[in-house]
Structure 1
Amino acid sequence: MNHVWGLFAHPGPELQQIKREHESIGHLYLHHVLLMAAIPVVCSFIGTTRVGWSFGDGDYLRILPSTALAIALAFYLLMLGAVALMGRVIHMLSRRFPSRPSLNECIVFAGYVATPMFLSGVVALYPVVWLCLFVGILALVYSGYLLYLGMPAFLGVNKDEGVLISGSTLGIGVLVLEFVLALTVIMWGYGAHIF
């Protein structure tokens, strides 16, 4: 958790500090991903059960707490898996380069790059679709910036290779994000009631 502020205040040096720590995947999940992934889950649970989704037309779609709990658990597990999947994607894309970062380094890197996406989940406390979409896009752009900035520094590839890998990774990451969000929206929509 101590790296969260640094990723926003001074991302380049913070990514280098994270790299020097040689963090394990278990440590990453225990001290960062499990906590950060809980932010959008808890906020979505509160927002959808207390306020309800709004599409700007005055109607609010609320979910019963029992249904929301099951959906929140599935959402949480999907996010945990998405971090590991994106780490594997980064590892696969970077294998052809001389530095060949380890799978551990790639998953740790993916976990920290996802930080803005996790934090953007706070807006789900007041789940208005356009607001969530706007903040989500801003978070995606900043995650893309961290990805671009961190590829050369964190994975030891040169800037040209970093642009290639970060662009490919961002494209695949957007697809994974869309898949996770689509499943989540379907699940939240399935349990919704109009109030």
Structure 2
Amino acid sequence: MLLHHVFGLFTHPDAEWAQIRREHEKPLRLYVAYVLILAAIGPVCAYISTAHFGWTIGAGQQVIRLAPDSALQLSVLTYLAMLVGVFALGYAINWMARTYGALEEDDAANGVALAAYSCTPLFLAGFALLYPEPWFNALVFLAAAGYGAYLMYDGLPIVMDIPRERAIMYAGALLTVALVILVSTRVGSVILWNYGFGPVFVS
């Protein structure tokens, strides 16, 4: 099972990336056995905390909760956005491969693998949503994004088989793509909210 890579990416990432390259899993299997499972952590935890625990802004303030239907709707949309985001980043990695001297594949297996495994810290950070305090969640996800960026940089020369010097520019370009994907999801959220998919709060 591909989930055994989770521990290795935190303890010995270089060796784990080498093993991931040797496995060369097809994107569909990688999605079914890894991404679909880990990407669900954040949305499930967010649903539980926002619909049942609630959160406050400031001391002594009223607890804010989302209506269960609204929380479920937003969690499902977030989950779908995560799946699309990982897929888009993986294909961007593959699309840019030839520019940086790597092999461009027809099925983008290495690119999708690199994107999926680099997002592992962000997937696991979803557990922090069980404690729905904005400042705490922001710190956890900031740390997870930082380690995810490091994993991307560390894995690029190994998985894509390029010199480490080229990986710096490659990683910078991919960071830009990731930011574009992030902004696109934010814009998509605003559009969906205008069509009635916005949060519904309960006291």
Scaled by the length of structure 1, what TM-score is found?
A: 0.91
Q: Does 1:25 align with 2:27?
A: yes
Q: How does 1:177-188 map to 2 (within 5 A)?
A: 177-180=182-185
Q: Is 62-71 or 78-87 further displaced after alignment? A: 62-71
Q: Kindly provide the amino acid, as one letter, of the partner of residue 49 in structure 1.
A: A
1:41-71 deviation per Cα after TM superposition (whole angstroms, max 9, x unaligned) = 1000001011224333534321111121111
Q: How does 1:17-166 map to 2 (within 5 A)?
A: 17-57=19-59, 58-102=61-105, 103-166=108-171
Partner residue, 2:201: 193
SS of equivalent to 1:191: coil
Do the aligned partners of 2:156 and 2:162 also contact (CA within 8 Å) in 1?
Answer: yes
Shift of 1:136: 0.7
Shift of 1:165: 0.7
Do the aligned partners of 1:120 and 1:135 also contact (CA within 8 Å) in 2?
Answer: yes
Q: How well do the aligned residues superpose, as a CA RMSD in angstroms?
A: 2.0
Q: Kindly provide the amino acid, as one letter, of the partner of residue 45 in structure 1.
A: Y
SS of equivalent to 2:39: helix
Do the aligned partners of 1:28 and 1:108 also contact (CA within 8 Å) in 2?
Answer: yes
1:155-195 deviation per Cα after TM superposition (whole angstroms, max 9, x unaligned) = 111111111011111232133234436756986x9324253
SS of equivalent to 2:58: coil
CA distance change for structure 1 residues 155 and 22 in 2, over 3 Å: closer, same or farther?
same
1:2-37 deviation per Cα after TM superposition (whole angstroms, max 9, x unaligned) = 100000011111011111011011111111000000
Distance 1:75 1:14 in 2: 28
CA distance change for structure 1 residues 7 and 72 in 2, over 3 Å: closer, same or farther?
same
Percent sequence identity over matched residues?
32
Do the aligned partners of 1:15 and 1:150 also contact (CA within 8 Å) in 2?
Answer: yes
SS of equivalent to 1:100: coil
Q: Is 54-63 or 113-122 further displaced after alignment? A: 54-63
SS of equivalent to 1:2: helix
Do the aligned partners of 1:53 and 1:60 also contact (CA within 8 Å) in 2?
Answer: yes
Q: Is 52-61 or 72-81 further displaced after alignment? A: 52-61
TM superposition outliers: structure 1 runs of 4+ over 6 Å = none
Distance 2:45 2:88 in 1: 24
